Amino acid sequence: MMNKNLVNMHKQQGFTLVELMITLVLALLISYGIAQVLISSNRSSVTSDGLSQAQETGRFAQSYLAEYIRKAGQDSIQDASITTLAFSGASVDNLNAAGSDRLAIRYVPEAPIAPATIQTCSGDNTAFDGTQVIEHHFWVDTNNNNLMCQSFDGAGVVLSAAQAIASGIEAMHVLYGYADAELTASGGQRNVSRYINRNDIPNNGAGNTDWQKVYAVRIAIMTRSLNDFTTEQRRQRYVLLDSPVYDFTDSISRQVFNTTYIIENFN
């Protein structure tokens, strides 16, 4: 009877050391697998957020520029003798220090009924009588990754302070659609022959840049996430129109947007 009780007691003992080690290893493996799933999910979420930020910035910037580009070359509605070209590079250097282009859009706004003011690209109000040429400048502040704007009159007088209108923009490059045969009363065409940068636009007979034959503008913008760590660190290379190669090795999500705008510019 005693031997039987001893056998039963032996059978009721706990896990062996080997069984505990196997259980511990399995628990660690399961925990590691769950952790990897959570890390991967979090990384995907952060990457998705970064791409969304870059895409939203690009769409907003292109939409904002489009509002002004569609007015480029608009002449005075009140006075047919007052005309202007669509673009300019005369007021300031076309390129900033970091190589991104500066876009200068010219037009004569429609005079408001009252009050006699118009809004600059930065949101300021300035006096206007329906005859002045307005020139809006857009460029990238590469130190802060902002798309900037500032308004001038046709003589280069500052109408508003420089203002950031979009954050998360690293570069902007512009090509102009040039027509070798201009539309005139005696013939010609408005079909764009080639897209060239500002410095390659030919001179007209008077020795000035021949903006009169520009009938389109192509803009490339490179945007980035606002967070500096939105993806795994990797090498990224981009070319915007005729720009040199942009070469990055970091953890930032980026997007490139290319849009072509057709303008009237019948002047």
Residue 146: beta bridge partners?
Answer: 141, 167
Distance separating alpha carbons of residues 176 and 85, to the nearest angstrom: 13
Question: Can you read off the two tokens belonging to residue 48?
Answer: 């998705």
Residue 138 lies in a domain: yes
For residue 54, what are the domain limits?
47-262
What pLDDT score was predicted for residue 1?
A: 52
How far, in Å, CA of 101 to CA of 132, rounded? 25
- Return the pLDDT at 20: 77
Residue 9, H or E segment: helix 2-11
- Whether residue 267 lies inside any domain: the answer is no
Cis peptide bond prior to 112, omega within 30° of 0 = no
**pLDDT > 70: what percent of the chain?**
78
Give pLDDT tens digits for 127-158: 877 678 888 999 999 889 999 999 988 888 88
**Number of domains the chain is built from:** 1
CB–CB of 70/261 below 8 Å? yes
Question: Is 166:222 a contact under the CB 8 Å cutoff?
Answer: no
Grade residue 12 by pLDDT with cuts at 50, 70 and 90: low
Q: How confident is the model at residue 60 (pLDDT cuts 50, 70, 90)?
A: very high
| Domain assignment present for 228 | yes
Q: Provide the 10 A C-beta neighbour count for residue 124.
A: 14
- Please state, in angstroms and rounded to a whole number, the distance separating the CA atoms of residues 240 and 112: 38
Residue 257, SS3?
A: strand
- The per-residue pLDDT for 91 is 40
Is position 147 within any domain? yes
Name the pLDDT band for 167 (thresholds 50, 70, 90). very high
In a domain, 37, yes or no: no
Render pLDDT for 15-24 as a digit per residue (tens, 0 to 9).
677 777 887 8
Give 200-218 as a 3 state SS string: HCCECCCCCECHHHEEEEE
At 112 the pLDDT is 64
Q: Is residue 69 part of a domain?
A: yes
Contacts of 235 (CB under 8 A, 6+ apart): 247, 248, 249
Q: What is the pLDDT of residues 86-135, one digit of tens each?
A: 888 644 444 444 568 899 998 888 766 556 778 888 888 888 776 788 88
Per the domain annotation, does 240 fall within a domain? yes
Q: In the predicted model, what is the mean pLDDT of the chain?
A: 80
The contacts of residue 82 (CB under 8 Å, 6+ apart) are: 75, 76, 108, 131, 133
DSSP state of 143: T
> Quick one: pLDDT band at residue 42, thresholds 50, 70, 90?
low
| pLDDT at position 97 | 42
Please write down the long-range contacts of 100-103, taking CB distance under 8 Å and 24 or more positions apart: 100/139, 100/140, 100/142, 100/171, 100/172, 100/173, 101/139, 101/172, 101/173, 101/174, 101/197, 101/198, 102/137, 102/138, 102/139, 103/65, 103/137, 103/138, 103/139, 103/172, 103/174, 103/217, 103/219
- pLDDT surpassing 50 at residue 261: yes
Bridge-partner residues for 258, per DSSP?
A: 220
Residue 134 in tokens: 């307005």
Q: Is 16 contained in some domain?
A: no
